[in-house]
Structure 1
Amino acid sequence: MDRNEFKRFFRACNPSKTIWIERPEDKDYYIDFTSVRGTDIVEQLGETISLLSPDPTCQLFTGHIGCGKSTELLRLKFELEKQGFVVVYIDTRDDLEMGDVDVTDVLLAIAQKVLDTLEQQSLNLKPGYFNELLEQCVQFLLTPIELKAEMEFNPEISFLGAKVNLGKIVAKTKDSPQMRDRLRDYLEPKTNTLLQAINGDLIQPANLQLKKQGKEGLVIIIDSLDRVDNRKRSDDKSAVEYLFITRGEQLKELKCHVVYTIPLVLMFSNEREALKKRLGGGNAPMVLPMVPVKLADGQNCEKGLELLRQAILARAFPKLSPKQRRDRITEVVDRPETLDRLCGISGGHVRNLLSLLFRCLQQSKQLPITRDRLEIAIRQERDDLMLAITELEWELLKKVSQTKKVTGEDQYQILLRSLFVFEYRTNEFGRWFDLNPLLEDAPELT
């Protein structure tokens, strides 16, 4: 592998990179793990949208942070667009301060991205109350120095003017806690009015015009909301339960197809049934599990391991077939057992797999990766992970190792959110939990 190819491989292994399957340069890196995850969640989400159209749907999607949700949601976007839907994909990390999110923040971020999409589609929408509401927000937020020069609202009121102003409002409130609080105080009593304006002036007219153009309608995918900080609020309710359960009925009111990513902790909450009713419309969230490297009975999952091998080899040799890639394993690692060790120790967590590989590449800056170099990276990752584990948590980890179960929100917060424990599902064994393999040999577990 020459210098240019190594550079491309290095960039492709960056664990922070999300694969956009619709991009030709990314498509060959995509590995479909459906066969070992127990179900094709993307197919289920897409079929629900297709079969229930034109009725709006609200579906919930969750899983471990880093397990590949964004990649799968972008695949959903790609598949729906092939069917004729116009899809608005929103990575909320771009527009929201994830440590401090409220329902009006989410609605404004959605409205901004919808406006971007409507402009790209050249839809001829007439101005309405949504523009007036934005003008009121701008006037409310005006300060003598900062905003007056930046937020020039067009008295003629056009959707392009609304887009400019809304973009500035979202950007300013993300960067300023004080401005965020002021805008929330102003919009909170108007939340239902804001929803009516988004639906009546943006979403419903857009759907009508899209149908006239032969399109199937509008779909909004709201990604990364699983990263909302689950702090305790002043009313002793968690921020996550407040946003998705207490305010869930409002988030569900958008009059088009919507998919929300939600924090995995809600699957362990006593309010799970309320979540299903208020935000999911009676439907349970869909969970994207880990890729199994071992089954619940302790046997290796050879199919899962092979797909993880291909996830790495595809980044090295994107234009080759799976068999051709296997024939060139020793150009990436010194021997096949080294690749197996890397895949197994990742626990099927795709970002952890790439993180370990990336650490090896950073330190050696050459291929093939040796077993010694990999073991050094594993030891460093294990040491970093173990720094955070308390004596009580070691006791909980022992129980998970024995029972393959995690119960209750407290155990979730301690074990799964910290990536000490992973969740798996297969058709054969159903759902089970197991230790992050980085911890399996820790003396504290004996």
Structure 2
Amino acid sequence: MLSKDRMTDNTKTFTELFSELEHYDEDKQRKKIGETNEIIDGMNEEEFESVFTEEPFNKMHEMIEEKKMSMENAILLLKHAGYSNVLKNVWDPCFNLSSLGKKFKKMAEEEEKKEKEKNKRLLIDLCECHIFLSCSFTPELLSICVPCLLNVALNKEENEEIQKEVDLALQPLSNIKYRNFKKELFFNEIKEIIKHHQEHHNLTQLAYQSAWQFLIDRFFKDKDLEIVIVNELHLAREAARELEELMKCIDWKKKEEEMSKEEAKEEFALMRRAKTCAIYFQCCTLWNEEFVKFINSIVQVYRAAKDNHRGISDWCIYSLRNAAKNRVAKVEDLLKSGAIDAVLEEIQQSTFKDKILRKYFHFFMNISERLKEIIDDEVEEAKRKEVKKKSFEKMEENGKRRLYH
């Protein structure tokens, strides 16, 4: 845990509550875990990372082994910590390295091997905790957890409790990057989940975004699957709609530290969507008419966020830069959408750090290169037409000579 001089009010309260858990009976402990989870909600990324080191996970393992904490209560705390881990976009391997992480991995593997009396609920809980809280996974663990979570997420039963389970099963999947297993695996399942939501609107924004992030991370630079993402699942249309909806939920005059818990959640959802857009534009090139509105939505978010929410505005600039560099959007679309005007305005009004300034220069360098190509193509086309014209004139002249001789 943290030394006293580095503790904030949140980390101090969390440390005190956590250290007391082993002294309560199961019911009182569950109530105290509820209080602990409320403190976790109020933490920023730095506070969260500072308390969730190996130590508390090892301590929980010790409490479970000594019967001072039930597995149910441990999962209650871990799931909430995992959910916050995704919300706060923390990337830390401590759970993997802890004795509790190793125990959960072994339990999941043993539960999966059972042919009879398999505890499906326990397996789901173990998988959610592990994927929520981890940043690297063995192929063996993924082969257990991903099918397990997708199977939960594929449940189409219209029931409030079932829908909560569907949502929770999808959210950890955003932690699994494309390099972890073959990209073709689970394509049909995640496609079905996304299409079902588009028809029935059954998922929360975070769950829907997690499904998309899992999908895009799978299909890095795969042209065939890119066609499905763009033309069948309508990435640009869906992303534009989400960006516009989320924009309305945020008071852009407030700074990040002034936002309520609910506003912070909306801001995170917008940040994550902007980041996914940047990743898409980095690795894909397919374009259709829906991208004009998509680019315009990114520009609108950028303009709204640039004063008080630089994290969001930076991801918007990455998206625009990648779209220009990777030729997803046509130059005329970047003009129509206001992307070029927005970046010009920002350069004229602001003072930047070198890193930020380079992003803007990269954007205009890419636009400049593409305009030069267009001009070169037009010059070549003009030359081709001139040669063709002269050829016809020459042929016509030769024809007339033959006629008179």
Q: TM-score, normalised by structure 2?
A: 0.28
Which structure dedicates a bigger proportion of its chain to strand?
1
Structure with the greater alpha carbon radius of gyration: 2
Q: TM-score, normalised by structure 1?
A: 0.26
Q: Which has the higher contact order (CA 8 A, sep 6+)?
A: 1
